[in-house]
Amino acid sequence: MTDRTGRVFDALADPNRRYVLEALASRETATATELAAELPVTRQAVAKHLAALNEAGLVESQRRGRETLYQLTPAPLGAAMDWMASVGAEWDARLAALRKHLRNRRS
Amino acid sequence: MTDRTGRVFDALADPNRRYVLEALASRETATATELAAELPVTRQAVAKHLAALNEAGLVESQRRGRETLYQLTPAPLGAAMDWMASVGAEWDARLAALRKHLRNRRS
DNA sequence: GTAATGTGCAACCTGTCGGTTGCGTCTAGT
DNA sequence: ACTAGACGCAACCGACAGGTTGCACATTAC
């Protein structure tokens, strides 16, 4: 798996970061101060989270005047989902093989 | 989102833990000492990771004699994927609406 | 021009996480 | 019975992540 996918999971591991993603998903765009108003942490904490999300490629920033707007970029979610799906699928295949094997032995 | 999904992301955030999952996906079953042999850490470290994975519902343990076998339980991955899919989908919908709005304004 | 608003940066604190070491226990082999 | 292998538990440690405070800088409003 690529290292980028690792950073996605790392970004998703924090509850506040997940809330930020949900908020951005329903909002088109938002500033750090706006998001901080809905969370029990300071603006700087939110700014750090946004930096982490940006590092993971989940968010893009765009400065307009004195405020910087953040916007969701959900593409890396796909790669992460692919990894999970592959792990699950491989295991499912093993399980199916095992079941078949047991059925054959029993008969 | 349920708190259980949060623990899944938390579990997936560590590279060694992801390696353990991959190993279990290709192996049906494995012990902590076996897995530790393939990783640059001690058995106890792997045991802690397996405990975390178990806490997240991604792994089940089963003691047989003097060794405990670990086995993948990929079900919680589904819930985590659902969360990601919903965030991505909501954003996609917003983006589509924005595109339509822009196209209407331009015409 | 000046005050207010919004940011970014840096230092600092604290808890937790990943990891190790040490030890006691249980099971399997001989 | 005794030794070796596999565990679990607990204490300990270093590093880093999340958070706060303080401050300087840029941009808007009056």
| pLDDT band at residue A94 under the 50/70/90 scheme | confident
Written as six digits, the tokens of B26 are 């290709």
CB contact under 8 A, B80 and A85: no
By Cβ distance, the residue of A6, A13, A90 closest to B9 is A13
Q: Which residues of B touch A6 (CB under 8 A)?
A: 13, 15, 18
- What is the domain extent for residue B65? 3-106
Pair type for strands A59-64 and B67-72: unpaired
- CA A74 – CA A8 distance, rounded (Å): 10
Q: In Å, what is the CA distance from A29 to each residue of A34, A64, A71?
A: 10, 12, 5
- Count of domains forming chain A: 1
Taking only the tens place, the pLDDT of each residue in A26-79 is 998 999 999 999 999 999 999 999 999 999 999 999 999 999 999 999 999 999
- CA A53 – CA A72 distance, rounded (Å): 9
Asked if the model's pLDDT at residue B85 lies above 80, the reply is yes
Asked if the model's pLDDT at residue B31 lies above 80, the reply is yes
Mark out the alpha helices in chain A (DSSP H runs): 3-12, 15-25, 32-37, 43-55, 75-106
Q: What is the pLDDT of residue A1?
A: 64
Q: Is A84 on the interface with B (CB under 8 A)?
A: yes
Domain with A57 in it: what CATH number? 1.10.10.10
- CA B24 – CA B80 distance, rounded (Å): 19
| pLDDT band at residue B2 under the 50/70/90 scheme | low
| DSSP per-residue codes, A64-81 | ETTEEEEEE--HHHHHHH
CB contact under 8 A, A80 and B78: no
Percentage with pLDDT > 90 across chain B: 79
Residues 6+ apart with CB under 8 A from B33: B43, B67
Mean pLDDT, all residues of chain A: 92
Residues comprising chain A, all counted: 107
